[in-house]
Amino acid sequence: MEADRVPPAASLGRTLRSFGYAGAGLSFLLRTQPNFRVHLAAAVSVVGTALGVGATAVELAVLILAIGLVMVSEAFNTAVEAVVDLASPTVHPLARIAKDVAAAGVLIAATLAAVVGFVILGPRLIALVRP
């Protein structure tokens, strides 16, 4: 019976292979997804700016969490698009909805991350340009 099946025991080799699969996924994102590269460039810029203007450790952590949310959203969006393309090679209204909603998730995450960035960094950046 299927419910009685015991999952295979964890092993170091199996764990290392899973990291390899994750690395392959990250490599795929970097090589093929222009939006992921844009988000990554923005992340480096935001973290550099935060360090440059003296953001606190907590502020930096909040920024990094917001950035991580965007990156994870982009990864899930790419995965949804790949699965939808596999399941529905022809244009289908439900396939379009799945892709559009996944993309909307990235847009929501990126918008929220931008708001977090402006709340944390905005006052410091404004202070730099005001005499």
- The first and second tokens of residue 2, run together, are 């299927």
Is residue 81 flagged as an active site residue?
no
Catalytically annotated residue among 2, 59, 74, 81: 74
d(CA 52, CA 107): 27
Q: How many CA atoms lie within 13 A of 41 on its CB side?
A: 7
Whether the CB-CB separation of 70 and 115 falls below 8 Å is answered with no
The pairs formed by 39-47 with CB atoms below 8 angstroms and a separation of 24 or more are 39/67, 39/70, 39/71, 39/74, 39/110, 40/71, 42/67, 43/67, 43/70, 43/71, 46/117, 46/121
Instruction: Give catalytic residues, as residue numbers.
Output: 74
